[in-house]
Structure 1
Amino acid sequence: MTSLVQPVRVFIDPVEGTPAAVEARRWVWPLLILALCVSASGTLFSLRWDATPDVIRELQASGEMATISEADLTDKIQTTTRKALVGGIAKGVFVMPMVALLLAAILWVVSWLFDRPAHFEQLMSVAALALLPIALYHAVLTLCIAAQHTLSVARVAQLVPSHLGAFLGTLSPKMARVASTVDFFNLWSTGLLGLGFAAATGMPRGRALLLALVLYVMFAGVLMVGLPGAEMAGGGR
């Protein structure tokens, strides 16, 4: 029972609970919780999602709408819905554990660069615990989706307004991406990452928190701002 209580304590008392969970190398339960919550939100979204408008919009953009038959359109809608269901489950079961493993590997490299060696299992615990706020986000999202009869992709993005862009009104696409990086759950994860890294490596807490923030800024700059912007520019050409 202690193996489950310690990760949960991270939500209540992160300053003391995170180091205790890292020392005990608790990563299995956090990963299971993460996989369950992400799979639940993805699965329920696929069941509530009305794919018809999105599929029609995609076909119109590609110029196929004028030539596709009604039967083929129905098949495409059903296929898209099934893909969303499989993708939602796979994201929780496969993708998120791989994200945690990749994050642990990055932390191992960082600990080596700063001459602060740590056991990999402790760093895996740091990664898994740091992703617990993301699990909480998906748990809240699941409850919000359950209250909807039908959903669109645009609507699901508005159900849990946790980032700065949701409160600033109309923004340019670039500024909207920048504002989306100031996200409550992501910053919470960053704080836990810093506390956990300090516990695993013995690095001073303030320095570890600053390092975690730098890593998040790098991650957000590339994956949340840079790549989406490059894709939009490519589409424009």
Structure 2
Amino acid sequence: MSSIVQPARVLLDPLDATGAAVEARRWLWPLLLLVVCVSASGTAFSLRWDAGPSVVQELQMSGKLGQVTETELAEEIQTASRKALVGGIAKGVFVMPLLALVLAAALWVVGWLFETPAPFARLMAAATLALLPIALYHLIFAICALAQHSLSLARVPELVPSSLAVLEGLTPKMKKVLGAVDFFNLWSVGLLGLGFSSATGMRRHRALLLCFVLYVMFVGVFSIGLPELMAGGGGGPGGRRGPGGGR
């Protein structure tokens, strides 16, 4: 029973509970909780998502809208809903465990670079515990989504407004930047720093600062830098487009 309660205490008492859970190498139950919550979130979205407008818009952009019958359009909408269901469950079952594994491997590399090695099981525990706020977000999202009569893609970022990207009057580029200032993401980064400190023996303030710097670098490269390069790669001079907004 303690193997279940101990990781859950991390959300309520991170300073003390994180170190104890990492020392005990508790990574299985946090990982299972993450899988269940993310799968539930994807399932809830697919059940409430009104796929019609998105399918019609996609057909309009491809120029095929006038070539499909009403029956074919209904089949396209049904197929899109099924894909959303399968994709949501697959994200929880396959993507999230892979993410936890990659995150633990990244911690191992960082520990090696800073000459603070640690057993991989402890780093895996630190990674899975750090993802508990993400699991909590998806649990809240699933509850909010099921409470809706229908849900559009535009409403998804607003359903659980946890980042500064929900502020009005922002340009798409600023939405992308402020989207990184997300409560659950920052909570997760903080837990990652505490877990890394417990696993490697690095001073707590140094581990926290290191993880926040790595988070800023990750956001800068994958959320801002690469989208800008991809948007500007197709048109040459004058062909740059700003990255799209959203979470």
Normalising to structure 2: TM-score of the pair? 0.92
1:191 match: 190
Instruction: Output aligned runs, 1:66-81, within 5 Å.
Output: 66-81=66-81
Kept in 2: contact 1:35–1:96 (CA 8 A): yes
Structure-1 separation of matches of 2:201 and 2:69: 64
Kept in 2: contact 1:174–1:229 (CA 8 A): no
SS at match of 1:150: coil
Normalising to structure 1: TM-score of the pair? 0.96
- Deviation at residue 177 of structure 1 after TM alignment: 0.1
1:159 match: 159
- Structure 2: 5+ residue runs without aligned partners? 240-247
2:149 match: 149
Instruction: Output aligned runs, 1:1-237, within 5 Å.
Output: 1-166=1-166, 168-233=167-232
- Deviation at residue 164 of structure 1 after TM alignment: 1.0
Structure-2 separation of matches of 1:119 and 1:183: 30
SS at match of 2:158: coil
- Which one-letter code corresponds to 1:144 in the other structure? C
- The two structures, once aligned, show a CA RMSD in angstroms of 1.3
Q: Sort the Cα spacing of 1:203 and 1:95 in 2 relative to 1 into closer, same or farther, 3 A.
A: same
Q: Deviations over 1:4-46 (max 9, x none)?
A: 1111110111000100000000000000000000000100110
- Which one-letter code corresponds to 1:226 in the other structure? G
SS at match of 2:220: helix
Kept in 2: contact 1:122–1:200 (CA 8 A): yes
Q: Deviations over 1:95-152 (max 9, x none)?
A: 0000000000000000000010100000000000000000000011011001101111
- Which one-letter code corresponds to 1:105 in the other structure? A
Kept in 2: contact 1:198–1:205 (CA 8 A): yes
Q: What is the count of residue pairs matched by the alignment?
A: 236
Structure-1 separation of matches of 2:65 and 2:231: 23
SS at match of 2:141: helix
- Which one-letter code corresponds to 1:119 in the other structure? P
- Which one-letter code corresponds to 1:63 in the other structure? G
Q: Report % sequence identity.
A: 64
- Which one-letter code corresponds to 1:177 in the other structure? K
Structure-2 separation of matches of 1:235 and 1:155: 29
